[in-house]
Homo-oligomer: A and B are copies of this chain.
Amino acid sequence: MDFPPLAWPAELYDDHFMLLDESSLPDAVRHIRIDDCKGAVAAIRAMQTRAFGQLLTVFYALILTARKASSAEGLRRAVEAACEDLNASRPTLSFQPYTDKVRAWTLDALEAGDERPAETLVGRIMEWLDRIKTMRLNRARLAAGLLEDGDTILTHCNTSGELLLAARVCRAGGKRLRFLATETRPYFQGRLTAWELSRDGFDVTLIPDNRAAAVLSAGKCTKVITGADRVALNGDIVNKTGTRQLAMLARRFGVPFFAFVQEPGTTATGEEVPIEQRDPVEVIRFRGKDVYPAGTDAFYPAFDMTPHPYITALITFEKILKPADLPAGWR
C-alpha cells in the first residue's frame, strides 16, 4: 500500500529533501526545500512539519549531515552537533531515542574502521526507516482489526496518515466507516485530518473541540482514536492538548478510546514528560489576523497528559495492549 501524503511527508534527494509544508494545507500543497540540519530545526520549530513528519525530518537531516562529512572525525563531530540541535528543537515528542541510535551507528562505523563510514551510516538510517514503514503499516492493520462495519470514529489532531491507512484496510475488507474530526484549536490540525480523509473518499465531518460531549452523549460516535506523541511504561500518553478531556468524556459515555503509540523507551509515567509551552500568539492570531484584542493573555501548552485509566487500549507496533496488561519493559 502506498503511503498517503501525511504518512510520509518528505522525499529525499542527493543533497536536500523536500518536506510537505503542513502549515499551508489545505489551501496549498506546498513543499519546502531543506538543505541541512539548521533548515530542519527551523521547520520543526515553526510546525511546518509535525508528529511523524518530525521524525522523518530528523532522520533525513542526519542523512544530509552524514553525506556532507569529508572525514571520519568530521562525520563524528557533525553528527554529534546535528543530534544536539535536533534534540533541542521541540521538547515533548523526544527525538533523543532516535538520535541516540544514529550516534551509536556512527560510532559503530567509526570503530569498525569502515572505509566509507558515512555511506554505512546512511544505509543503516535508510534500513531503519524502511523498518518503521513496515511497523506503521502493521500498526494500521491492528487498528483496522478494532474497527467494525458501521463505526463512526471520532479523532483529534492528526495521526500522520495512520488512521487513514487503517481506514483503507477496512474499506478493502468491506467495512464502512464514518469519521468525526475535532478542529483541534489553536492549530486547526483537524483541517489536515479532514483533508486527507476526504481526498481519499472517506466521509468526514468536523466538529468544534467543545462539541465532544454532545456528540458522545447522542450516541453519534462509536470509537475514539488518536495518536500519541509519547507513551509511558504505565500506559499514560502525552498527545495534543485536548486529548485528555476527550478520553475522559469517552469513558463517561462508555465509548472506547484507543491511541496509536510508539515505543515507551524509559519513560515511567506521563508526569515525567515535559509539556511544550508554545507562544500564546499562536492562539491570538490565525493566518495573520488577530482573533483577540492586542495584549490579550493566552495560555497554550501544546500537549496534555492522558492518565492510563482513561485509555481502553494502546495500539502498538506489534499488538493491542490494555494499560492494565502492559508487561514490564514492554515495547
Interface residues in chain A, defined as those with a beta carbon under 8 Å from any beta carbon in chain B: 26-27, 156, 180, 182-186, 188, 190-191, 194-195, 198-199, 203-215, 217, 241-242, 244-246, 248-249, 252, 280, 283-284, 286-287, 289-293, 295-301, 304-305
Contact = CB atoms under 8 A, between A and B. Distances in A.
Contact of A206 (B183, B287, B298, B304): B298
B194 A292 contact: yes
A208 B214 CA distance: 18
A298 B207 contact: yes
Contact of A213 (B183, B248, B300): B248
B293 A244 contact: no
Given A292-B191, A299-B207, A213 B283 contact: no
Main DSSP-derived SS at the A contact region:
mixed
Contacts of A246: 210
A210 B299 contact: no
A211 B299 contact: yes
Contacts of A305: 214
Contacts of A249: 245, 248-249
The number of times this chain is found in the oligomer is 2
A280 B211 CA distance: 13
Given A185-B208, A211-B241, A299-B211, A289 B287 contact: yes
Contact of A208 (B180, B199, B241, B244): B241
16 contacts: A191-B291, A195-B293, A205-B297, A205-B298, A205-B299, A206-B280, A208-B209, A210-B210, A211-B242, A211-B304, A213-B244, A213-B248, A213-B304, A214-B241, A249-B249, A286-B291
Contact of A244 (B188, B205, B217, B295): B217
A298 B209 CA distance: 12
Contact of A210 (B26, B241, B252, B284): B241
A296 B206 contact: yes
A178 to B, nearest CB: 10
Contacts of A291: 183, 188, 191, 286
A207 to B, nearest CB: 5
A283 B305 CA distance: 27
